[in-house]
Chain A
Amino acid sequence: MTQQDAFPGMVKLLTADGQELATGWVDRVAGSLKGRISRNELDRELTELYTALVEALRDGVADAHADGMSEVRALLTELSRNRARQGFSPTETAISVFALKHVLEPVLQDGSDQDIRAYLRLGRLLDDLGLFTIETYSRTREEIISSQADQLLELSTPVIKLWDGVIAVPLVGTLDSARTQVVMEKLLQALVDTGSEQAIIDITGVPAVDTQVAQHLLKTIVAARLMGAECTVSGIRPQIAQTIVALGIEFGDIVTKASLADALRLALKKSGVEITRGGGVGR
């Protein structure tokens, strides 16, 4: 049998029990997805795919990467992108293609030689298309990951005004050069904008203070000082304190406090604000 003869065989295989085949296919896929996609939607997706596939085979195209398959590939691309976005696994994505092989399997039992050859040829095509879905799937996941990384970078570090003349920067996560630059710029700008003379840098959310983080902190503080502001570092937990000592980092004359509350109290005192407890009734 030549390559060309295979096409009518494949089309026949797919269209012989068209409706039954489609139902079996949707059933299989729906079973694996455990109701996380509505049957109607699945039905629509797979029917479109089925129609496009039969169309391409009728036109004599059986190469997953040929131009004639572009419609099928477009549908598969859409399908895998949706699956990837909705958090389905690669298996749950590729099953949409591979399930078709499964429902065609009975042909192997009672089909003619020609049917079996057509099945094998079709199987090869479906394998390629399945790999294509996985490739698209992982490409989509990579896109999602890289866009998330961008979002993380954009996570703004807020500068909060705690009191007249007192601002605070809560740092969360890893401090690298790029983020320190952003933090420093924001802090310095906020000092000017609010006319503050007290700045508190809170590192409660920084998991580990290594020499690079410390160096970045020190630079920021020196810059703030040059602008006439006093900086306090707060949120130094016991384990961080011990690590800093062991590392041998000198914070010099920089004031540090265990908690943000302590730092705020100090900053208020320095800016001349007195806090007194209100004498409640009954005292």
Chain B
Amino acid sequence: MNVPWAADDEPQTQPVVMNDDVVRVRQFARGLSQRCKLSLVDQTKFITAASELARNTLVYGGGGSCTAGLVRGRGRLGVAAVFEDFGPGIPDIELAMTDGWTSGGGLGLGLSGARRLVDEFALDTEAGRGTKVTVIKWAR
């Protein structure tokens, strides 16, 4: 997915390599969604999705990065976050997107839940190449 980054607002990239980084990503996501004037519910949804995906990047991808910023499209403002890792990738996307399925010890709702929390969701992965998840939440 091509992310329509807002021209006047550079997206920022942060490392996601340890537990504290997940908190940092979450705080950054909070700042962005407040700047974008998302409703409180949408803010919480975006922050939670970012938290899920950041933890996935860390736990399953073995660490990576998060690039997040404001986006503009069809006259609307939104927030986007791209999570990228160069870990083992996801061999079976359909299975990974199934509610309740996990390859680790989680609830198995991270990926599928994150998809329901945002407006746009793109998963780009291949076994052995890594994983790239892009999410966008538009302001209403």
Contacts and interface: CB of A to CB of B under 8 A. Distances in A.
- Smallest CB-CB A-B distances: 3 pairs: A247-B113, A239-B44, A210-B51
A246 B113 contact: yes
A211 B106 contact: yes
Contact of A211 (B19, B30, B107): B107
7 contacts: A208-B51, A212-B55, A214-B107, A239-B40, A243-B117, A246-B113, A247-B52
A274 interface: no
A233 interface: no
Interface of B: 19, 23, 26, 30, 40-41, 43-45, 47-48, 51-52, 55, 99, 106-107, 109-110, 112-114, 116-117
Given A207-B30, A210-B52, A240-B44, 5 more contacts: A209-B48, A210-B48, A239-B44, A247-B109, A247-B114
B37 to A, nearest CB: 15
A243 B107 contact: no
A211 B110 contact: yes
A243 to B, nearest CB: 5
Interface residues of A, number: 19
A208 B45 CA distance: 9
Main secondary structure of the interface of A (DSSP, over half): helix
Contacts of B109: 211, 247-249
Interface string A210-236: 111011000000000000000000000
B107 A215 contact: yes
Contacts of B48: 208-210, 243, 247
Interface of A: 174, 176, 207-212, 214-215, 238-240, 242-243, 246-249
B116 A248 contact: yes
Given A208-B51, A210-B55, A214-B107, A243 B112 contact: no
A238 B41 contact: yes
Contact of A248 (B41, B44, B45, B113): B113
Contacts of A212: 51, 55, 106
A176, A240, A247 pick with most chain B CB within 10 angstroms? A247
A152 to B, nearest CB: 11
